[in-house]
Structure 1
Amino acid sequence: MRIVQVGLGGFGRNWAEEMIPQVAEVEVVATADVAEASRQAAIDAGIADPKTCYATTEQAIEDSDADAVLVTASLVGHVPAVRAALEAGKHVMVEKPFAPTVAEARELVDLAESAGLVLAVSQNYRFFPAVRAVQQLVRSGDLGDLHAVELDFRRFSGSDGRRGPHHFLDEPLLVDMSIHHFDLFRAVLGQNPTQITCKTWDPEWSLFSGPSEGVALIDFEAGVTASYRGSWVSHGTPTAWAGQWRMDFTDASVEWTSRGDGKDGWTSDEVWIRRGDSLRQVELPTMPLTDRAGSLTEFVQAIKDGREPENSGRDNLSSLALTYAAVESAANGRTVKVGA
């Protein structure tokens, strides 16, 4: 499948160097970025061809015989790039967050569906063995009814005194990081959220421009309430990127974690079932590709199969709505209804 990659900043170059090469079914035939410095950095790194590296999405699409577009640009570039690709008749996968607003995301979903095109969002935390195992446990009903979920995320970003791009974001926790966890709630529970109460803050000594810590209570369709705690500035034992989970069922609890550090982050995936004093580790499924390579593979396979991908734009509307409802709740101090 011939693709155009739009977005060659640091994260886009990581996509090009580490993720795209894992997916044998795709070939990058053109690249694009509005920033000349990013284009040059990609060319210097040998991951972009100067002959097919363009300043605009439109030009890259026009000059290439591509089947699809992969948008790895920053959030401000998502909607323009996705719209340009869809209007050119190309399938699209875009990085999270999907769009700056739910209304803009919904518009793109409708545009894709009217044109018969696949639109996907790279919610890559779904594509790990522990997540698949927990999804199966929930669906099987073997542990009884699920009635409570807890998730803790802890990291200390900037402990070395240096600031990265996410330190300057308005919402470094909720929109840049918690969106992964909010999407995982939906993926493993198989339910959509109905309302959220959220509070965020930032210690005066942190290197962040926006709130780096937060807590939330999230209600879901079937009556399950999830409690969430996230921190970018915790001295506590760091969690894996997907966080540290406990899910309480009628007959047992499930404790699990996913997405560790490094290229082989799946090796730290673990799922345990606790019944009284008994603790049993769950055997995890084998996944040929995980992380962003897994989300790209799902996108490509869905196009080949003529079906909606698991990580479709339509499905992602609820994850996006939950994220922005969390921001609203934290800003006004009230419980906010979630509707995609």
Structure 2
Amino acid sequence: MNGICIGLGVRGKMWFDWAKQAGMNVVGVVDLDRALLDAGCNELGVPADQRFERITDAARQTGATVATICTPNHAHAACVRDCLESGLHCIVEKPMVEDEAALAEILALSRHADRRVAVAQQYRYTPPMLAMRDAVRSGRIGRVNTINLFFARWRPAGDMILPLMLNQAVHQFDAVRSILGRDPQWCGAHSWNPGWSPTKNHTMLEATYGFGDSICHYSGNYVAKGAQTPYSGRWRIEGDEGSIEYHGDGEDQDLVLTRHDPPDRESIAMTAHDVSESALVCRDFLEAVTDGTIPPTDATDNAYTLGMAFAAVRSSETRRIVTMDEVPALAGLRN
């Protein structure tokens, strides 16, 4: 399938390779910064006639069907819009958008254009998340009562909008939804920016979500001055027949299932991939476009991941529990 890669920064160059690993035939590369575009294309071996500064020109001149988008967060919505208006299906780095109005607009544009928008939520494809999902869904710890998830890193993010929630927590929110196979119904949260933070937007979040008879609590900090967690965070999933604990990637930590009665403790096997998780999420997107089906991380699904962030903001601002359908783009989305 012919496609174009949009964005040629450090991670954008990685996406050039991931797209090819996923099976995409890259026929064009786009970046607004001509110097960056030429330098990156020279490094990647992209010929001059496949270099573009505008998405519309790339789509028209290459005849591409799909696109990958890896640009700064604030440019995601505009790039998705240009892709849809140019007749391209696209997969975009998270977050898909930065605000509720843009989310509603992109969902409407995707429906109107009859083109798919997927989001690169690769955390749900990592071996630990897949292993936890399979263990939970197969009933190995019974009915899930609680998920407790703790994340702490020192990662000041300048003027980024909702840096913790939109740049990091969306990964964990999406993984929780994937593990449970359900969407949350309500949220009670408090978000803030501590006095020592060098950024101007909220970098800390305490949030509780209701998933039917299961509760998830997320504790996140993007300006942690103390011990740092791995980027995957630290997990404990408690069921009525046992628990699963995962202390995060980068530390050779096992995924451990424990039961109290009868006493039992075992490591859950995790299967490594032959390609990166980003290539896997891109592969699923390309296969869905080919088959005319819905990708696992389609915009209509990812809206609920973003909705967890937007609901947390609304709850914090109003100091009350909010329901997910108070996020306008989510109202009636599953109907």
Under TM normalisation by the shorter chain, which class is it?
0.7 to 0.9
Q: Distance in 1 between matches of 2:154 and 2:73?
A: 24
How far did 1:115 drift?
4.3
Contact 1:130/1:257 (CA < 8 Å) preserved in 2? no
Out of 202, 216, 221, the position equivalent to 1:211 is 202
Deviation string, structure 1 residues 62-121 (Cα, Å, up to 9, x no partner): 111212011112233222322222233222111111123344334433443454433211
**What amino acid is aligned across from residue 74 of structure 1 in structure 2?**
P
- The aligned residue for residue 181 of structure 1 is 172
Q: Equivalences for 1:224-239 in 2 at 5 Å?
A: 224-239=214-229
**Number of residue pairs the alignment of both structures matches:** 324
Aligned-residue sequence identity (percent) comes to: 26
Q: Per the alignment, do residues 47 and 329 of structure 1 end up closer, same or farther by CA in structure 2, a change over 3 Å counting?
A: farther
Q: Distance in 2 between matches of 1:47 and 1:195?
A: 49
SS in 1 for 2:300: helix
Contact 1:170/1:209 (CA < 8 Å) preserved in 2? no
**Unaligned ranges ≥5, structure 2:** 331-335
- The aligned residue for residue 95 of structure 2 is 97
Q: Distance in 2 between matches of 1:45 and 1:81?
A: 24
Q: Per the alignment, do residues 85 and 254 of structure 1 end up closer, same or farther by CA in structure 2, a change over 3 Å counting?
A: same
- The aligned residue for residue 20 of structure 1 is 19
- The aligned residue for residue 299 of structure 1 is 285
Q: Equivalences for 1:1-340 in 2 at 5 Å?
A: 1-16=1-16, 19-23=18-22, 25-43=23-41, 45-46=43-44, 48-157=46-155, 166-220=157-211, 222-257=212-247, 260=249, 268=252, 270-276=254-260, 277-339=263-325, 340=330
SS in 2 for 1:63: helix
How far did 1:50 drift?
3.6
When structure 1 is superposed on structure 2, of 245-254 and 194-203 the one drifting more is 194-203
How far did 1:5 drift?
1.1
SS in 1 for 2:167: helix
Per the normalisation by structure 1, the TM-score is 0.86
How far did 1:294 drift?
1.6
Contact 1:6/1:33 (CA < 8 Å) preserved in 2? yes
Contact 1:172/1:208 (CA < 8 Å) preserved in 2? no
Deviation string, structure 1 residues 206-265 (Cα, Å, up to 9, x no partner): 332322222111112x2211111111232444322221110110010111255x35xxxx
Contact 1:3/1:67 (CA < 8 Å) preserved in 2? yes
RMSD over equivalenced CA pairs, Å: 2.3
- The aligned residue for residue 161 of structure 1 is none
How far did 1:35 drift?
2.9
**What amino acid is aligned across from residue 168 of structure 1 in structure 2?**
D
How far did 1:21 drift?
4.5
Deviation string, structure 1 residues 29-55 (Cα, Å, up to 9, x no partner): 111122334324423543654432212
SS in 2 for 1:168: coil
Q: Distance in 1 between matches of 2:316 and 2:10?
A: 30
Contact 1:34/1:55 (CA < 8 Å) preserved in 2? yes
- The aligned residue for residue 264 of structure 1 is none
**Unaligned ranges ≥5, structure 1:** 159-165, 262-266
Q: Per the alignment, do residues 170 and 84 of structure 1 end up closer, same or farther by CA in structure 2, a change over 3 Å counting?
A: closer
Per the normalisation by structure 2, the TM-score is 0.88
Q: Distance in 2 between matches of 1:87 and 1:44?
A: 29
